[in-house]
Chain A
Amino acid sequence: MDILAHVPILVVGIPLLGAFATPLIGRAGARARNWFAIFILLLTTALAIALAVSVYQSGPRVYVLGGQSFGFTLPSGYFFPIRIILEVDGMSAFFALIIAVTTLLGAIYSTAFIAGHSGLEKYYALLLLLAAGMFGMVVTGDAFNFFVFLEITSIAATGLVAFRTGRAESSEAAFKMMVLYNIGGLFVLLAVAILYGQYGALNFAYLARLIEYSLLDVIALALFVLALALKAGAVPMHMWVPDAYPAAPAPITMVMVANTQIGLYGLYRICFTLYGLKLTPALVGWIVIILGLASIFIGVSMAVIQRDLKRLIAYSGIAQIGYMLLGVGVGLAVLGTPALNSYGLMAMKGGIFHIINHAFYEGLLFLAAGAISYRTGTRNLDELGGLAHNMRWTAIFFIIGGAAIAGLPPFNGFASKLIIYESVFKFNPILAVIALLASILTLAIYTRAFQSAFVGPQLPAYKDVREAPASMMFPMGVLAILTVLFGLFPDLVVKYLVTPAAQALVNQAQYIEAILGAGLGVK
């Protein structure tokens, strides 16, 4: 059996198998359960890397569930895809890498962070289920399965955020998040139903060929944009983010960052691949840009006044989501015009590059904040102080993360923000200036956070605080190394990871051809 031929489904199937097996393995003991979860995610990471390599080398991969051929050819030669089809292109593979890295490191970090809590086999099962749902969302080529995996991630993420039921804030945050996710999911389902009602198909490629941008399609587009922007935490639907991120255990917060970014994936997939040039690119592009700009502005403003360390990081994370919306929004606004090649594609590359950078440095910051609360028991910046004396490595990791999120050279945030500034400046100088100012504010925010948590004389309350255990330092170290490496060699990352992803978004025809082939499916 050729394993590589089945990789697109295996990245979904293996975490799913692991999720169902974890409660049974858990009866053999805590150690077996932890190693099992880590092993499954390690396997998935290897598969995701194999998938990415094959997609970057030889173009989009298509996989059919339950049958040998894609679909059904009518006697008249009209081809019609009927089965569940997975389609993996550069963008999907790019996100699969992010998911693989964050979930694997999250599982390793959890072994020490959450040890001793009851019901941990459910925790690991939900973590694996969340991984399966996120992988499913990025590999699926089918609108309805997109909805199903979206709901799987919602339920699993809610369960994980609410996991520490002893705390009032976890259940409150999880409830708010679940209500919003639920309404967003219903909007997606309604949009899928509207599209099915018109064209009688669910396959993205097939729909993209048929779509006409009638009034009903406009309603579906509005519902999609709303629901996916809500999942991505764009202002003003961001309010669940600063509630849910601090309430979740730190490793889950890192995975949740990837989970919100899947909302961006969905948004880009719908706008570029499903609707493509049929929508009015300038208008939709400007809607995305304005959502991004509001996110940047409100995110940094609110981060200035926060006292909870994780809440502060969450708010500044919202601002970074704004950069990703801004970069890709500029690309969308000039889609189909000559400006796309002069600066639009570059802006998209910046936005997409920022996604992977954000997953790493934001994860690093949350893990460092988790290490602080693990050892000191508090996240209140007014109470913390002088921790650099005791937690030297955590302080260094926090500096790396803070410098990267503020866009200081030579860390990875600088490289992607530089691309965004330059290309957005050519589109509209005011946008670039606002983005730059927000970046300066971000630096101020992290200076304050670092000053109050780490700098200063050793406080008597934290005299006996020790460095976090090794299984928590290892994921932080990996993320810090990735943050620095991506900052030192951004050209390689942009060339081998980001450019194929951006090209995959712009090249709608390639996505359709991969399923429908030349000339098939035309009336």
Chain B
Amino acid sequence: MKNFWKYFLFLLVILVLLGGLIPPIVENPKSFFEFPLIRGLEDKARIIFFHVPTAWLTVLAYLIAMYYGIRYLKNKNIYDDMKSVSAAALGFLFCILATLTGSVWAKFTWGSFWHWDPRETSIFILLLIYGAYFALRSALEVEEKRARLSAIYSIIAFLTTPFFIFIMPRLMIGLHPGSLEIDPVTGQVKASANPVIKFEMAANMRVVFFISLIAFTILFFWLWNLSHRILKLEYENQKEI
């Protein structure tokens, strides 16, 4: 079953596209193939199947890039750096996708493209970190040096991210589900419903959501695998000349 993963991925993507886009949204869902209506969201609710997985991959890719960066520092194996940089490149791509899908959606739901909501701010900072990472790489010509310094930068930049998690809610209130809000009845500050963690999502939506999450993750690993193998081939090709 050489191509098992490819077929499996194809199947999942079809399922997500059909499952995410076709079921009608109705006031009182009766059959399994109808999504509940959420006031203020309506059809725009479908974004969750595509936006959340890209955001998740942005973070996952960063962690993978950093992990292989550290491995490079340990073993000085240039292939680890290739894995690291291709994960970072894909992460950057998904980061841009998450930002765009999010901000288009925000325009129609919250009124403007950008609100500096904590999570919008954190993805913006992640975008900056990815950008800085590639700016640094392009300024370093010697391969070993490039691998070493970009790995170190990824570690240092990563260490500042917990601070944002702490700082953001103090500076601004969250619009995303899962961020802190004030309960209208009791007046207490609490974390609002988080559809990802608390599963406050209709059962059929949850199924599509998780299939999508899995499909995107497989897609990421497939792309990552391809791109670092391409880099490796290019490298070996050049060495023979």
Q: Do A and B come from one complex?
A: no
